[in-house]
Chain A
């Protein structure tokens, strides 16, 4: 399953002239239910407001905003928790998704996050 997810990962988003990959691979994270939580890391700085704006445009809402943490919720109940101080991202698949479908759903959410990052970077480069 891990291999399949790596293979199905979208093209890694790049920011402006900086070719560094922003998102690390997706991996299982500790969870109270199997395959519910997944983790990746934002390995380069991303602008929290720009990313939040891009995710909101996709239909996510900001559920929690803390000094070092942002949590976004999808209308279907999925969540993205982003620790802005360390770059850690946790993707939380909604509990109602069947166990077998959770890895695939995590990849879909990861793709949405990648797209939002690209949009955020694009927006940043236009502004600068």
Chain B
């Protein structure tokens, strides 16, 4: 099994995607690095690696397990081959799993996180801590499933990392220590999603948004990786990633901070929110400037309504959920709603109701829509450099965002209001 398109399913009305029954989304390396950096900033590198690898292990167990079942892979060799091919199809890089029932060695080549880190920061920053926690958790899950071991009985660490200027990444899979966190998060699948989402609504420019979403989905299905398991789509370095990984790492981190250092909670929430800016600037922005967009929709004119509704379409196509534009006053105000997204179903299923809004990504991505719509000179086809990102998003962004309604609080939908400061 090397083509997993047949196992990818669109929950079309909700604009969510599943792979082997497990929710997934498209995210680029800028977002991935920023998200994981936020976990590191909050918890420290060693603790963050554990949280990230165990979240990856939990989510990968669901995904690989379902695909083993549906493919009929019956022995360790077939199961490990499936896991390796799956990892590459997700754009996570190459894994060579030299493992048996007690664990073993895993060689990683061009792993997404370390490759991307070195690409983005390698010429400026020296890193000493390994970064491939997602690959480690995935490798541990694959080994457990290949040899029918109990979930969570193994754990993986990284002894050599490409981000630390090693030629390859080396992961060690071994019996989990007694203090390893249990893999007790509840898996989110299609049934769980449908339990928490509500009937999709319609907003402004619905037909335009739906039409563009459909076109983008067709392009996304055609995206495939290179021999090393790295994926470029629309000229962007992307992954098909498990949304449960983002959810669990973000919410576990925030909950730990809420308990241990409540005064720092707002700062950590703000950082997870900033990942929405990072994603919209890099992924949405480059997608709007891509030849695929120009061929399908036409060159971007730069009108505020055009940019915001285009961004809503992109969010849907990437599997972020059914986002609608409820109200838009250029220069003043944007109201976005979502009846589904990849944040609240996980939250409700794992933590229950919250007394505050929890869709950090949705809230801040919406703010970034307004910033892109008002501050980027689209007709000049600008290069979306990190200098431009700093100019647009560091300091006073000029827009405030508030998630006024949230399914996590028991509201009928999630609603974000972005207003000019």
Interface set of A (CB-CB < 8 Å, partner B): 28-33, 36-37, 39, 63-64, 66-69, 71, 77, 79, 81-86, 88-90, 92, 94-96, 99
Contact = CB atoms under 8 A, between A and B. Distances in A.
B124 to A, nearest CB: 12
A94 B383 contact: no
Nearest to B215: A66
B232 A79 contact: yes
B60 to A, nearest CB: 23
Nearest to A37: B235
A81 B292 contact: yes
B274 to A, nearest CB: 17
Interface stretch (B125-133, B205-213, B294-302, B351-359): B294-302
A34 B40 CA distance: 25
B381 interface: yes
A90 B290 contact: yes
Contacts of B291: 69, 71, 81-83, 88-90
Contact of A29 (B219, B228, B383): B383
Interface residues of B, number: 34
B230 A96 contact: yes
The 9 A-B pairs with the shortest beta carbon distances in the complex, nearest first, are A69-B295, A81-B291, A68-B295, A83-B295, A77-B226, A30-B383, A90-B291, A32-B236, A30-B289
Contacts, number: 89
B296 A86 contact: no
A1 B290 CA distance: 23
Interface in B219-245: 219, 222, 226-228, 230, 232, 235-237
B129 to A, nearest CB: 23
8 contacts: A29-B383, A30-B383, A31-B235, A32-B235, A66-B295, A69-B294, A83-B295, A85-B294
Contacts of B299: 86
Given A69-B291, A96-B110, A36 B222 contact: no
Contact of B235 (A64, A67, A83, A92): A92
Contact of A30 (B28, B30, B110, B381): B381
A96 B162 CA distance: 14
Contacts of B383: 28-31
Nearest to B122: A99
A29 B291 CA distance: 11
Contacts of B204: none
Given A29-B289, A30-B382, A69-B295, 5 more contacts: A30-B286, A30-B289, A67-B295, A69-B291, A82-B291
